[in-house]
């Protein structure tokens, strides 16, 4: 039997994640400093781990309601109201998921009919385009540019809207660029969504991680948007809980019910241990989040300064824990830069093209790693840039 032929066309044709391939090389090497994987270097705060341990000790090991523990849903509703100014009913408008990853998948599968177009800004998180394809939608990238600090503009969005457009996906602060949106630009985007009757999926996973006093605004909080938006958030980044695999989606009851049906048959419920830990995170974790945020801000300052000093233009992003410097000056393409940097200097960054074609000419560096490691990594990258420039001058 030709097994390859048996695989559904839309699955077979999806490329593997560029990050995964790259990190298989990284794992086979010794002494590499990785600025690659987007994962906090902090351990999950101890009291949150303790809540998980205590949950197991008490034997809380059964299924929960499909929507999630009522106490967690209430905590999520209070947290979202307190931090984002959007009010959801914990009984009917909150669904606990296996990370934001599951929330994205559920939201797309609940909304998209074959052939519907789903718009998203690019460069963007690696899963967006494949998740749209898996939901049988058509991915439509809206380019963002370094000159705008990778903000999405309503003008670029408008150019890509057609009669088949149905959904807009947003992720600000952004992975991989660190971009954030201004309220003014978001208002213009929101007005377009209302005019064109688009549903918005907003991925808020980096919302707590903003710097220089920038206050994050969610599009769901703007007038007229709550009723057409699915607000997705989780614990992986701000609470350093990637391995717990826990997140949530908040939306008007009719959309929550649609997502819940897919979740109910496909997943049943999120882990009960992770749900108990998540309650502790939301109710007691704010000081930990603030401590990590401050540390990320210091690291961002150092990394941005270092890239600019070595001649690689890098704007100072106001959010997430990534920087997206231009490597155009080196004359190397993103993939070549990243592979050579890894081989010659044992530092891993991700080629910008892993986040879409418009990432060419850039690399993503994640600064969720210790200051000491960052210092060594930056001096190795500077050395690499100097050596490449000298080789070019001699050629
Ligand atoms: C923008 C974005 N959305 C979603 C995810 C996945 O999050 P989770 O661990 O909650 O599934 C990531 C992880 O890197 C991300 O960067």
58 alpha carbon – ligand 1 mean position (Å):
30
Which two tokens mark 258? 């649609």
Residue 20 confidence (pLDDT) above 80: no
Q: What is the DSSP letter of 84?
A: H
Quick check: 275 and 96 in contact, CB under 8 A?
yes
pLDDT value at residue 315: 96
Q: Is the C-beta atom of 234 inside 6 A of ligand 1?
A: yes
Which two tokens mark 231? 């607000």
Task: Place 29 in a pLDDT band, splitting at 50, 70 and 90.
Answer: confident
Q: What is the pLDDT of residues 170-216, one digit of tens each?
A: 999 999 999 999 999 999 999 999 999 999 999 999 999 999 999 89
Task: Place 37 in a pLDDT band, splitting at 50, 70 and 90.
Answer: confident
pLDDT value at residue 254: 98
Which two tokens mark 194? 């209302």
pTM beyond 0.85: the answer is: yes
Which of 205, 152, 395, 178 shows the shortest CA–CA distance to 307? 178
Among protein residues, the one whose CA lies closest to atom 7 of ligand 1 = 100
CA distance 53 to 273: 8
Q: Is the C-beta atom of 171 inside 6 A of ligand 1?
A: yes
Among protein residues, the one whose CA lies closest to atom 13 of ligand 1 = 38
| Least-confidence region, from 25-34, 189-198, 340-349 | 25-34
Mean pLDDT, range 153-175, rounded to an integer:
98
3-class SS shares of the chain: helix, strand, coil, % to 5: 50, 15, 35
Task: Return the H-helix or E-strand segment holding 234.
Answer: strand 229-234
Q: What is the DSSP letter of 230?
A: E
**The dihedral sign for the CA sequence 147, 152, 155, 159:** positive
Q: What is the pLDDT of residues 255-311, one digit of tens each?
A: 999 999 999 999 999 999 999 999 999 999 999 999 999 999 999 999 999 999 999
CA distance 66 to 263: 8
Quick check: 132 and 105 in contact, CB under 8 A?
no
Return phi, psi of residue 255, to 5°: -75, -40
Q: What is the mean pLDDT of the chain?
A: 96
CA distance 206 to 171: 8
For ligand 1, what atom is nearest to the CA of residue 247?
A: 10
**Residue from 20, 101, 102, 322 whose mutation best tests the ligand 1 pocket (most atoms within 8 A of CB):** 101
1 alpha carbon – ligand 1 mean position (Å):
37
Judged by phi (left if over 0) then psi (alpha if -120 to 50, else beta), residue 214 lies in: beta
For ligand 1, what atom is nearest to the CA of residue 124?
A: 1
Q: Is the C-beta atom of 40 inside 6 A of ligand 1?
A: no
| Least-confidence region, from 15-19, 171-175, 271-275, 363-367 | 15-19
Residue 330 confidence (pLDDT) above 90: yes
Q: Is the C-beta atom of 165 inside 6 A of ligand 1?
A: no
| Residue that is written with structure tokens 């934001």 in the block | 100
Which of 40, 74, 10, 96 shows the shortest CA–CA distance to 299? 40
95 alpha carbon – ligand 1 mean position (Å):
17
**The dihedral sign for the CA sequence 109, 275, 234, 158:** positive
């Amino acid at each position: 039997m030709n097994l390859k032929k048996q695989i559904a066309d839309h699955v077979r044709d999806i490329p593997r994640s560029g990050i995964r391939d790259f990190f298989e090389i990284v794992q086979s090497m010794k002494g590499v400093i990785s600025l690659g994987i987007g994962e906090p270097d902090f351990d999950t705060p101890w009291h949150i781990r303790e809540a998980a341990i205590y949950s197991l000790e008490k034997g809380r090991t059964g299924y929960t309601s499909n929507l999630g523990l009522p106490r967690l849903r209430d905590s999520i509703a209070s947290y979202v109201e307190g931090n984002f100014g959007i009010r959801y009913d914990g009984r009917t408008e909150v669904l606990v998921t296996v990370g934001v990853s599951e929330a994205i998948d559920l939201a797309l599968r609940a909304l998209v009919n074959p052939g519907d177009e789903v718009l998203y800004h690019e460069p963007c998180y690696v899963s967006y385009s494949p998740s749209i394809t898996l939901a049988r939608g058509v991915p439509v990238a809206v380019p963002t540019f370094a000159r705008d600090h990778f903000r999405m503009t309503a003008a670029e969005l408008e150019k890509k809207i057609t009669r088949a457009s149905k959904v807009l996906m947003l992720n600000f602060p952004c992975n991989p660029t660190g971009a954030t949106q201004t309220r003014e630009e978001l208002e213009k985007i929101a007005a377009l969504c209302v005019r064109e009757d688009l549903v918005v999926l907003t991925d808020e996973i980096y919302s707590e991680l903003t710097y220089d006093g920038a206050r994050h605004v969610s599009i769901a909080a703007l007038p007229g948007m709550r009723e057409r938006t699915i607000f997705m958030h989780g614990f992986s980044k701000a609470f350093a809980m990637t391995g717990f695999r826990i997140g949530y989606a908040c939306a008007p009851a009719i959309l929550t019910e649609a997502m819940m049906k897919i979740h109910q048959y496909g997943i049943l419920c999120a882990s009960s241990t992770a749900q108990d830990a998540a309650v502790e995170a939301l109710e007691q974790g704010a000081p930990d989040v603030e401590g990590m945020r401050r540390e990320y801000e210091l690291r961002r300052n150092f990394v941005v300064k270092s890239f600019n000093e070595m001649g690689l233009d890098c704007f100072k992003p106001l959010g997430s824990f990534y920087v997206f410097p231009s490597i155009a000056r080196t004359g190397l393409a993103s993939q070549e830069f990243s592979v050579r940097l890894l081989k010659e200097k044992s530092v891993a960054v991700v080629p910008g093209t892993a986040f879409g074609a418009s990432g060419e000419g850039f690399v993503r560096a994640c600064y969720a790693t210790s200051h000491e490691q960052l210092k060594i990594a930056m001096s190795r990258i500077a050395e690499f840039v100097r050596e490449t420039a000298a080789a070019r001058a001699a050629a």
